Structure 1
Amino acid sequence: MDKLKMHSPDLSQDNIAKIRQLFPGCVTEAHDEATGAVRLAVDFDQLRQELSDHIVEGPQERYRLDWPGKREALINANAPIAKTLRPNFSESLEFPSTKNLFLEGDNLEVLKLIQQIYLGSVQVIYIDPPYNTGNDFVYRDKFAQGADEYLKVSNQKDSDGNRLLANLSANGRFHSDWLSMIYPRLKVARNLLREDGAIFVSIDDTEVAGLRHMMDEIFGAENFITEIIWEGANKNDARQVGVCHEYVLCYVKDRRATKTSWSVTKEGVEPVLKEVERLRKEHGEDYDASSEELAGWFRAMKATPSFGLRRFRYIDNRGAYKEDDPTAPGGRKFVLKNPKTGETIPLRPNRGWAFDQETFNRLVDEGRISFISPTSIMVRRYLHETDTQTPQSVFYQPARSASERLSTLLGGGYFDYPKDETIIQKFIDMAAGEDAHDAIVMDFFAGSSTTAHAMFLQNALDGRNRRFVMVQFPEQTNESSSARAAGYQNIAQISKERIRRAGKQVLEGEHHPNWNRDVGFRVLKVDTSNMKDVYYRPDELNQADLLDMVDNVKEGRTAEDLLFQVLVDWGVDLTLPIRRETVKGKTVFFVDDNALVACLDHGVTEDLVKELAGGEPLRVVFRDNGFVSDAVKINVEQIFRQLSPTTEVKSI
C-alpha cells in the first residue's frame, strides 16, 4: 500500500519532467547527495547543444532584471515544504457548507501547500503586498541577506569590509530584499491561475518599475494588460510633486485564452433599474406616468452617478430607454418607408441611415422605433442592454471614504490605508464577470480582507457564486494600537472579523435572487506536519525508539487534522462537504460522498475494509499502523481489487 508524501510538490522535479517531454535526451537520473534517492537531473551541456542556435552564453549582455538574492529566491519558490493546514472550527463560519477559505500563515508556504489543489483553477488574484518603505517585512524568507553580506555580494564592499561606493543611501539592497520577498510568491501564484485568469497587483512608485520587469519575466510581456492608475488622496509629505495615485499592474496567464473584451457595469445603473422596477409595479402599463415620475427622480439624483444616465428617462414594457438619432455621418443613403403608412421618412442633409430597410422593419415590429410623427423617428436604446462599458485605466476613489466605511463596519480605525472594496469589485467584475458563475477569487496578502468583501458585493449584485481564498499571516498588532486595545492580537483576527461583519451587512441589503448567499469561510492554519519527524539511522535505533515509532502521528493532532493533511497531499478541494459516520464502530469521513473515504482510527478490521470497498469510493486512506493485524493490512489492496478495482488506496 503506497503512503502519502506529506509534503508540498517538488516544483524542480516537475519542471525537469516537462523538459524531459521536450528534450528526452537532456534528462538523466542522478543520486541525491543528501538522501541517496534517485532523482531526475538535467544534462545542461546537452540542453545547451539542443538550443545552440538560441542560447545566450556567459557575460553577453541580455535584457533582464537581476538583483542579489534572485537565485536563492527562485530556489525557495521551487523547494517543497513538510507542513500542513489544520482546520479551526471555532473561528470558522458555516464550516460544513461554505465554499470560501481563510488560510492563516506565511503566504509562500500556503501557496505551496495548495498548489496541487488549485493548480490552474483561480480566475482572479488581487494582492496589495507591503510597499517598500525600507522597513523589515514580516515575511522574512531564509534567503534574505544582512546588510554586510549584501554589500559584499553586490561589490559595494571589499573582502576587508571597506566601502567601494561613496554614497550608500540609495543602494540596491533597499530594492533587493523586497524583490526577493515578492518573486517566489508570484512565481507560485502563476501556477494557480486558469489559462484565462488575471492577476492585479497594487504598488506605489517605489517599486512599480522593478515589479513591472519582474511580472514581464514571470507572466510574459505579451500577457501584460495595463497599468491602472488608482487616484486617491494627496500625501502630506510631498516636497516637489504631490503624489495622489498608486498603480495596479494587470497581467493574464495567457492572453490567447482570455476573452477578447472585458467590461464593467456603468456607475449608477443599479439605482436606476431598481427605481424603474418600482415604477412599473406602481403604474403598471401606464408608461407615460412612469416616465414622467422617472424624469423627476433623475432631477433629484444630481449629486449621484445615476444622474449621468438621465437620458434613459422613458419607460416601456421592456424597461428604461433613451431615444437616439437613427442617422449617422456616412450612413446608408436610400429612401426609407414607414412600414405602417408607406410614407417616406426624410433624411437630413449630409447624413445617412444607421440601418437598412429590412433591419428598420424588424425594429418597428419589435417596438424599438419611436414615431415622433409619421415622418420623424427615433431609435430606442435600453439601459439593461447597454449597462456595461470597457473599463478605463484610471480610477478615482477618495481614500478617506474606504477608511470611513471600514471604521464604521469594525467599530474602530485599525487600518491606516485600507483598499476600497468598490474598486476591487470592479476588478472582479472585469476578469470574472458574467461567465464566471463559480470562479475562485484569491488574495494572498489579505490584510483586512477587502477582496472578500468586494466579492460578496459583486455576488450580491449579479447573482454569481464566486468563492474566495484569503491568505493572511498572523502579524502581531502593535501593543499600543487601538486594535490591540479592542482585543485583536494579530491582523488575521481583524481580517476574519471583517469578513463576518461584511457578510452580514451584505445579506441584510438587497441582493440578486440567484446568489447562494454563502458568506461563510473555513479557517485553516499552517502548522508543522502531523507526522513525527524521524532522524534516526537504523544502527541508532533501540527497542524504545521502535515502540515510539509505532504511531507516527504527533500527539495532540486530531482525526480532522489528519484528514485535511490527506486532502492537501492528495490535491483534493478543501471546501468539499465532509460527512462523519460511525461504521463498524470506527469513525469514517466521507468527503464529497465517495470522492475520498478516510478511516484514521486504530483497530481497523477486515469487515470494515470490505464495507468501505463495497461503496466503491474514488480514493480511500487508512493509518499505516491502524489495522488490527498485519494480515488485515496485507489484504487491504486485494480486497479493493476484488470489490472496487478503480479505488486508489493509500496510507499515512
Structure 2
Amino acid sequence: MNKAAMNLVTLQDGESANIVNENIEQLKSIFPEVFGEGGINFETLRQLLGDAGVIDEGEEKYGLNWHGKKKARQIALSPSTGTLLPCPEESVDWDTTKNLFVEGDNLEVLKLLQRSYTGKVKMIYIDPPYNTGNEFIYPDKFQDNLDTYLKYTGQIDDQGFKLSSNTEASGRKHTNWLSMMYPRLKISQALLRVDGVIFISIGNDEHANLKKVCDEIFGEENFIASFSRMMKSGGAKGKFFTPNIDYILAYAKNVNELDGFRSEIPQEQIKTYYNKIEVSGARKGESYGEERLYKASLDARPNQRYWIQCPDGSFVIPPGNSFPSKVSEGEKIIPNSDDGVWKWTYTTYKDELDKGNIVFKETSTSALVDERNNQSKYNIYNKLWLTDQQEKGKVPSDFIGKYENRQSSAELKELGIPFDFAKPVNLIRYLLEIARTKGDDIILDFFSGSCSTAHAVFQQNAYDSQHRRCISVQLPELTPDGSEARKLGFANIADIGKERIRRSAKKIVIENPGYVGDFGFKAFKLASSSIKAWVPNRDDLEETLLSHQEHLIEGRTEQDVLYELLIKRGIDLAVPVESKIVSGKNIYSIGYGALFVCLDESIAHGDVEMIAQGILKWHEELSPSSQTHVFFRDSAFIDDVTKTNMAAILEQNGITHVRSL
C-alpha cells in the first residue's frame, strides 16, 4: 500500500475527548522513564517527584469521601459515544448566531463540548438541584452514560426504567447528589479559561458538601467567596428560623489570573455621595465626593504618620501617643499600634495637594490634633472624582440583598412562561458584571432550566453594547401531566427554555432599538453517534463485515454528520459552514477551511480529479491558518483505487490529512 492510501484512514471511534489517554500522554512527555512494558512504574514516579510527602497513601486524610466517589471520578474521565444533532427548525438565526442551546443530559453534553471549548469559557453559572428531597430526579439504577439518557427520553427501550425523587428514605440522599455533581464540576473546571470563574447557587442542604467538593476540584486556593443572597423577605415558615437566604459559591480557575470583582456604583450612592461639582481648574464641572484622609480603622503603617500644615499655618496629625520630634511639613515617624495614620504616604499626599484634590474644612468635631496635642479645628479630605471611581468600579459585598426570587416570577409572568423557582435575570446580570465579562466572552449554564442565564446575557449585551456568547444545556425533563406548562403545550423543560430565549429576545430588541446584537441560538439534541461502532459478531464475522460496509447510521443527514465532525475535531459549533457544488457533488467548508467534507454517496473514478481540484482551489482562496482535514464517506468510493487517487492528489498539493467516515 502506498503512502497516500495509508493516510486515507477511516474514523470509526465516534467518541468525545478521551481525557485518560490525554493525561497519560502528558505524563509520558514529562516522565518517559516511568513507562515500561508493564505500564507505569509508580516507585520510579515517586522517586522523580521526591519522597517528601508528595504521595499520600494513608487512609486517614482530610477531605470529603462517600461511597461511589471513585466511580464518579472515573465517569468524568470516560469519553462519550454520543453526538449533538443540529435542529435548525427549532433555532433562531441558525446561519449567523454564536449562541447554543443543547437539549440533553448535561454530563454527556459537557463531555462532547470538551474538545471544542476546553479553556475557552470565561464564566459558568449554574443553579443545580438543591437536593431538598423533592426536586432532584435521578435514575434508580444510577448510571451516568448515554444509555441512561436515551432510556429517559424514550430513544431506546427502557425495560422498566423509571425515575424517583432523591429522598432521605433512599439512605443515599447526599451520596447520590454528590455522585451526580462531581463529574459535571470536574469537566466544567477544564472548560474554564485561565481567568475564568464559576458561580454555583446552592441551598443549606448541600452547601457544606458542595464547598468541600469544589475545594478538591478547583483547589482551596481558588475559592473566592460564598455569597449570601436574599431569596425572599418575610414569611413565617420554619421551626427555628424563617429561611430567607441561599448561597452562591464562587471559584476561579486560577485566582492569580482573575481580576478582582467590581460592580457599578449605584445611582443612589452617586446622588448622596458624589454630590459636589468642581467650580474651577482642569476638572471644572465634574462631580466628586469627599473622603477623610484619616480614619481610625487604618492600620499603623510606616511612612504614614507625619505632620500636615493647614491653611492657618498650624500643623496637624492623627491622634496617638508618639509624635515626630520636629514639627514641620512632612516630618514623620514609625508609628506604634496605638498611633493613627493618614491613608497615604507623604509623597502621595503632596502630589494630590498639588493637583488640587485636598480639602481643608474647619469643624468643631475634628479627631486630628495640633502641634500642642490639642484638638485641631480642621478636618482634611481628599476628592474622589466620580468618573475615576466609575472606571474602577465598586468592590461588591458578599451579601446580595437586591435580587429576590419574586422578581423572577414577575419576569416569567410578563413573558407568559410557566416555570417555578427560576433565578432573577438581574442576579445573573450582576454576576456577569462583577466578573468583568465583556466582548465575545463565552458564558455557560449547564443546568439552564428556563434559561434565565441566556436572558441575562442578552439583556447585559444590550445594556453595555457587548457581544457575549451563551451556551445553555438542559435535560428535557417532562412537565407534569395537568400542569400549566403542559396545558400551554410545553412537553418538557427544554422546550420552555428555548421559548423563553425566543420571547425574551423579541422583548429586548423592542426595548433597545439602537443595539444590533446576536439574539439567536443554534439548537442541538443529544443522541447516539452517527458513526457506527465496531461491534464484531465472532460467530458470524462475514455478516459483521457486510453490515459495516457503510460506517454511518442510516437516517442521519449530512448536517448531522457535519456537526459530529465539528465536535470530534474540536471546532467551535458556531463557526461558519459553507457549501459549493463541485462535479455535481456537495462540498462543505467548515471554519474557513479548517475542514472540507464531501458526504456524497457515490464517487466514481472520473469524479476524483474535479472534486480534488475544486477543494484545492477553495482551500487556496480561504488560506486557513491551521492544517486542513478533508473527510469523505468511505462507502462512496467505487473502489480502493479511486480512494487512493483522491488521497494522492490532495497530498501532492499540501493537504495530507485525508480521512474517510
Q: Same fold (TM over 0.5)?
A: yes
SS at match of 1:563: helix
Distance in 2, Cα, partners of 1:70 & 1:267:
45
- Give the AA of the match of 1:649: V
Could you say which residue in structure 1 is the equivalent of 2:23?
A: 15
Alignment of 1:121-520 (within 5 A): 121-135=120-134, 137-140=136-139, 143=142, 173-233=172-232, 236-259=236-259, 261-268=260-267, 307-308=271-272, 311=275, 321-324=287-290, 350=317, 360-361=353-354, 363=355, 381-387=384-390, 388-397=393-402, 399-412=404-417, 414-433=418-437, 436-510=438-512, 516-520=516-520
Change over 3 Å in CA distance of 1:537–1:239 after alignment to 2: same
Could you say which residue in structure 1 is the equivalent of 2:615?
A: 612
Alignment of 1:43-122 (within 5 A): 43-44=41-42, 46-48=44-46, 52-54=51-53, 60-122=59-121
Distance in 1, Cα, partners of 2:198 & 2:573:
22
Residue 527 of structure 1 and its aligned partner are, at CA, apart by 0.5
Distance in 2, Cα, partners of 1:312 & 1:94:
49
Could you say which residue in structure 1 is the equivalent of 2:365?
A: none
Kindly indicate whether the alpha-carbon contact (under 8 Å) linking 2:407 and 2:424 is maintained by their aligned counterparts in 1: yes
Could you say which residue in structure 1 is the equivalent of 2:659?
A: 650
Residue 537 of structure 1 and its aligned partner are, at CA, apart by 3.5
Change over 3 Å in CA distance of 1:325–1:559 after alignment to 2: closer
Which range moves more in the overlay, 234-243 or 67-76?
234-243
Could you say which residue in structure 2 is the equivalent of 1:150?
A: none
Could you say which residue in structure 1 is the equivalent of 2:634?
A: 624
Residue 561 of structure 1 and its aligned partner are, at CA, apart by 0.3
Distance in 2, Cα, partners of 1:639 & 1:562:
24
SS at match of 1:207: helix
Distance in 1, Cα, partners of 2:509 & 2:58:
60
Change over 3 Å in CA distance of 1:133–1:356 after alignment to 2: closer
CA deviation digits over 1:90-144, x for unaligned, max 9? 1111111111111110000000001010011111011110111234744439646
Distance in 2, Cα, partners of 1:169 & 1:587:
57
Could you say which residue in structure 1 is the equivalent of 2:577?
A: 578
Distance in 1, Cα, partners of 2:517 & 2:188:
28
- Give the AA of the match of 1:639: I
Where in structure 2 are there 5+ consecutive unaligned residues? 1-7, 145-166, 296-303, 319-328, 330-341, 362-378
Kindly indicate whether the alpha-carbon contact (under 8 Å) linking 1:200 and 1:249 is maintained by their aligned counterparts in 2: yes
Kindly indicate whether the alpha-carbon contact (under 8 Å) linking 2:445 and 2:473 is maintained by their aligned counterparts in 1: yes
Kindly indicate whether the alpha-carbon contact (under 8 Å) linking 1:399 and 1:417 is maintained by their aligned counterparts in 2: no
SS at match of 1:389: coil
Choose which of 40, 43, 46 in structure 2 pairs with 1:42.
Answer: 40
Change over 3 Å in CA distance of 1:124–1:67 after alignment to 2: same
Residue 202 of structure 1 and its aligned partner are, at CA, apart by 0.8
SS at match of 1:455: helix
Distance in 1, Cα, partners of 2:312 & 2:414:
59
Distance in 1, Cα, partners of 2:569 & 2:291:
61
Distance in 1, Cα, partners of 2:255 & 2:523:
34
Identity of aligned residues (%): 35
Change over 3 Å in CA distance of 1:393–1:542 after alignment to 2: same
Kindly indicate whether the alpha-carbon contact (under 8 Å) linking 2:440 and 2:466 is maintained by their aligned counterparts in 1: yes
- Give the AA of the match of 2:23: N
Residue 262 of structure 1 and its aligned partner are, at CA, apart by 1.9
TM-score, length of structure 2 as denominator length:
0.77
Distance in 1, Cα, partners of 2:253 & 2:198:
8
SS at match of 1:404: helix
SS at match of 1:615: helix
Change over 3 Å in CA distance of 1:503–1:28 after alignment to 2: farther
Distance in 2, Cα, partners of 1:356 & 1:580:
66
Change over 3 Å in CA distance of 1:358–1:49 after alignment to 2: closer
Distance in 2, Cα, partners of 1:570 & 1:447:
29
Distance in 2, Cα, partners of 1:53 & 1:327:
50
SS at match of 1:226: strand
Kindly indicate whether the alpha-carbon contact (under 8 Å) linking 1:102 and 1:524 is maintained by their aligned counterparts in 2: yes
Kindly indicate whether the alpha-carbon contact (under 8 Å) linking 1:128 and 1:202 is maintained by their aligned counterparts in 2: yes
Distance in 1, Cα, partners of 2:171 & 2:46:
32
Kindly indicate whether the alpha-carbon contact (under 8 Å) linking 1:530 and 1:554 is maintained by their aligned counterparts in 2: yes
- Give the AA of the match of 2:574: T
Which range moves more in the overlay, 55-64 or 594-603?
55-64
CA deviation digits over 1:447-495, x for unaligned, max 9? 1111111212222222221101110011100112111111111001111
SS at match of 1:517: coil
SS at match of 1:115: helix
Distance in 1, Cα, partners of 2:242 & 2:519:
40
**2:588 is aligned with 1:589:** yes
Distance in 1, Cα, partners of 2:253 & 2:639:
51
**2:32 is aligned with 1:27:** no
Change over 3 Å in CA distance of 1:432–1:639 after alignment to 2: farther
Where in structure 1 are there 5+ consecutive unaligned residues? 31-40, 146-167, 269-303, 337-343
Distance in 2, Cα, partners of 1:349 & 1:459:
50
- Give the AA of the match of 1:615: W
How many residues were matched structurally? Answer: 565
Distance in 2, Cα, partners of 1:563 & 1:403:
38
Distance in 1, Cα, partners of 2:477 & 2:484:
15
Change over 3 Å in CA distance of 1:441–1:383 after alignment to 2: same
Distance in 2, Cα, partners of 1:10 & 1:142:
25
- Give the AA of the match of 2:10: K
CA deviation digits over 1:340-378, x for unaligned, max 9? xxxx787885589986666555x46xxx89999xxx999
Kindly indicate whether the alpha-carbon contact (under 8 Å) linking 1:442 and 1:470 is maintained by their aligned counterparts in 2: yes
SS at match of 1:527: strand
CA deviation digits over 1:612-642, x for unaligned, max 9? 0233362221112223442221122321222
Kindly indicate whether the alpha-carbon contact (under 8 Å) linking 1:613 and 1:639 is maintained by their aligned counterparts in 2: no
Distance in 1, Cα, partners of 2:255 & 2:349:
36
CA deviation digits over 1:307-329, x for unaligned, max 9? 55562678998875135369657
Residue 409 of structure 1 and its aligned partner are, at CA, apart by 3.2
Could you say which residue in structure 2 is the equivalent of 1:165?
A: none
- Give the AA of the match of 1:562: V
Change over 3 Å in CA distance of 1:319–1:449 after alignment to 2: farther
Residue 240 of structure 1 and its aligned partner are, at CA, apart by 1.0
- Give the AA of the match of 2:16: S
- Give the AA of the match of 2:128: P
Change over 3 Å in CA distance of 1:332–1:319 after alignment to 2: farther
Change over 3 Å in CA distance of 1:195–1:622 after alignment to 2: same
Distance in 2, Cα, partners of 1:627 & 1:516:
46
Residue 421 of structure 1 and its aligned partner are, at CA, apart by 1.4
Kindly indicate whether the alpha-carbon contact (under 8 Å) linking 1:140 and 1:181 is maintained by their aligned counterparts in 2: no
- Give the AA of the match of 2:28: R
CA deviation digits over 1:221-257, x for unaligned, max 9? 1111111111121565301111211111111111222
**2:526 is aligned with 1:526:** yes
Residue 2 of structure 1 and its aligned partner are, at CA, apart by 2.9
Kindly indicate whether the alpha-carbon contact (under 8 Å) linking 1:16 and 1:27 is maintained by their aligned counterparts in 2: no
Residue 55 of structure 1 and its aligned partner are, at CA, apart by 5.8
- Give the AA of the match of 2:540: E
Change over 3 Å in CA distance of 1:90–1:55 after alignment to 2: same
Distance in 2, Cα, partners of 1:76 & 1:470:
22
**2:6 is aligned with 1:3:** no
Which range moves more in the overlay, 465-474 or 497-506?
497-506
